[in-house]
């Protein structure tokens, strides 16, 4: 089963092609949020590199959020456009859940964090044991102080941070001796992890509605424009 997966929820742009649970090829670019200019060329480059046409893809997958509002919208729209008219599954996954897949083979608490601005983080908490990933919290908006207090409730387990809010979370948890070092490559979005997460979601929901129409971004909170409009 061939999967084309992308992530554009933070500053980087990532794309990967996988054959089931095996990585075929991947590319990650520092797009600096210019995703409208970098995402599609990155996808086209990787498709040319592996010698595939879009018609060869069995599952189109993307991170559906949370993250940069613009990046989330561009990623979802791109996957919808590629899947449109092909009758192939179009699977969106939580960007936070996908990042937990970076730590397959580890044991401990995985804590993806993304800078949500306004002194807040997008976050979810997972326990990982080898290939098993158990969600311990929903995707949410939380302050770094609140997260630090919560993570103190997991004594004796290593805590691994990843995501664009890494430095913020590490600083807030500087007194937590369970916080483990994370290599730079594991801290950020990985499109292969999106592919693995999407495959698990697809296989675990037989008969699920995975169409380009059903794919919907998940922002967790209103955009600045929406908040300002509601004040009028």
Q: Does this chain's domain 2-94+189-231 share its CATH topology with 96-186?
A: yes
pLDDT score recorded for residue 230: 46
Q: Quick one: pLDDT band at residue 140, thresholds 50, 70, 90?
A: very high
pTM of the model: 0.94
Q: Is the pLDDT higher at 36 or at 150?
A: 150
> Which residues, other chains included, contact 119 with Cβ-Cβ below 8 Å and sequence gap of 6+?
143, 144
Cβ atoms < 10 Å from Cβ of 7: 31
Question: How large a percentage of the chain has pLDDT more than 70?
Answer: 94
| Spans of all domains in the chain | 2-94+189-231, 96-186
pLDDT score recorded for residue 223: 58
pLDDT score recorded for residue 85: 83
Between helices 35-50 and 69-83, what is the axis angle to 10°? 40
What 70-73 contacts at long range (C-beta under 8 Å, 24+ apart), as own/partner pairs, is: 70/33, 70/35, 71/8, 71/9, 71/10, 71/33, 71/35, 72/8, 72/9, 72/217, 72/218, 72/219, 73/217
pLDDT score recorded for residue 185: 87
- Would you state the structure tokens that stand for residue 138, as one six-digit string? 């929903």
Top CATH class of 96-186 equals: alpha beta
Between CA 127 and CA 122 the distance in angstroms is 17
pLDDT score recorded for residue 229: 47
Fold of the 2-94+189-231 domain: Nucleotidyltransferase; domain 5 (3.30.420)
CB 143 within 8 A of CB 171: no
The yes-or-no verdict on residue 228 having pLDDT over 50 is no
| Core vs surface per residue 113-145: b (16+ CB within 10 A) or e | bbbbeeebbbbbbbbbeeeebeeeeebbebbbe
């Amino acid at each position: 089963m061939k999967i084309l997966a992308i992530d554009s929820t933070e500053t980087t742009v990532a794309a990967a092609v996988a054959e089931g649970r095996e990585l075929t090829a991947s590319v990650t670019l520092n797009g600096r949020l210019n995703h409208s200019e970098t995402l599609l060329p990155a996808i086209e480059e990787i498709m040319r590199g592996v010698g595939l046409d879009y018609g060869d893809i069995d599952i189109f997958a993307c991170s559906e959020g949370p993250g940069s509002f613009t990046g989330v919208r561009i990623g979802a729209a791109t996957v919808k456009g590629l899947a449109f008219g092909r009758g192939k599954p179009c699977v969106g996954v939580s960007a936070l859940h996908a990042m937990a897949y970076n730590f397959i083979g580890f044991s401990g608490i995985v804590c993806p964090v993304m800078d949500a601005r306004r002194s807040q983080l997008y976050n979810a908490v997972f326990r990982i044991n080898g290939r098993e990933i158990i969600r311990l919290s929903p995707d949410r908006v939380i302050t770094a102080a609140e997260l630090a207090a919560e993570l103190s409730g997991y004594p004796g387990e290593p805590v691994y941070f990843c995501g664009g809010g890494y430095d913020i979370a590490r600083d807030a948890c500087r007194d937590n001796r369970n916080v483990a070092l994370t290599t730079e490559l594991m801290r950020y979005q990985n499109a292969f992890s999106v592919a693995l997460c999407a495959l698990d979601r697809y296989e675990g929901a037989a008969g699920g509605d995975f169409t380009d129409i059903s794919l919907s971004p998940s922002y967790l909170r209103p955009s600045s424009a929406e908040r300002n409009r509601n004040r009028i």
